[in-house]
Amino acid sequence: MAKFSFRFIHRSFHSSAAILTLLFLCALLHSPLGAPAGQGLNDANFIKQVPYVPTPQDIVEKMLDLAKVTPEDTVYDLGSGDGRIVITAAQKYGAHAVGVEINLDLARQSGDRIKELGLQDRARIINEDMYDVSLSKATVVTLYLLTSTNEKLRPKLEHQLHSGARIVCHDFHIPGWDPDKVVDTTSRNGVSHKLYLYVRP
């Protein structure tokens, strides 16, 4: 059943935004309505949960290129998943990079990968809720989250990021902000992506 579902999604959706949105809707459908506290997606968990869909590696690099990441930057990836943005920022661009991942298994896996690559001096993973982590040291923030989640993060980004900090969103914009640049691109697997660059005033 899982294989059939994946093939259906791959054939029917040519946009990564559509795929992520579909997975989010599936999570809602599998959450029992009126479930007792602690079961399904209660209100608190609903706000924090975003389906995990890895960003293709070539899109990772386009995101970091769009932000013009250099070794002088500190990159924060919120919802860092398997750590590929963190690892790429540290390994290819020489930046300091921090991933924030609430899922313990993903945080451990990406942390182990960082150690295997010998990048501990430039990269690390924090296993915490992204709403609770300070962004005051970030010069670049990367997001692959739903629009509604970006909107909830906006006050935090406005209050904690310094002037000149760059935010790159994959597929989903930040409501209330005008992007400095929008890039339409296609990954090597033929799926279309949209990247939004914001620079804090």
Higher pLDDT, 18 or 104: 104
pLDDT digits (tens, 9 = 90+) for 119-177: 999 999 999 999 999 999 999 999 999 999 999 999 999 999 999 999 999 999 999 99
Residue 37 confidence (pLDDT) above 90: no
**Mapping DSSP to helix (H, G, I), strand (E, B) and coil, where does residue 71 land?**
coil
Task: Report the distance separating Cα 143 and Cα 140, nearest Å.
Answer: 10
pLDDT digits (tens, 9 = 90+) for 61-77: 999 999 999 999 999 99
Task: Report the distance separating Cα 125 and Cα 99, nearest Å.
Answer: 5
Distances (CA, A) of 26 to 30, 80, 135, 157, 173: 6, 21, 31, 29, 22
Residues, the chain, total?
Answer: 201
pLDDT band of residue 20 (cuts 50, 70, 90) is: low
What is this structure's pTM?
A: 0.79
* CA-wise closest residue to 151 among 180, 174, 178, 133: 174
**What pLDDT is attached to residue 17?**
56
Residue type, 27: A
Q: Distance of alpha carbon 191 from its chain centroid, rounded?
A: 17
Residue 33 confidence (pLDDT) above 70: no
> What domains appear along the chain, each with residue ranges and CATH number?
2-48 (no CATH), 57-199 (3.40.50.150)
Max intra-chain CA distance, the chain: 49
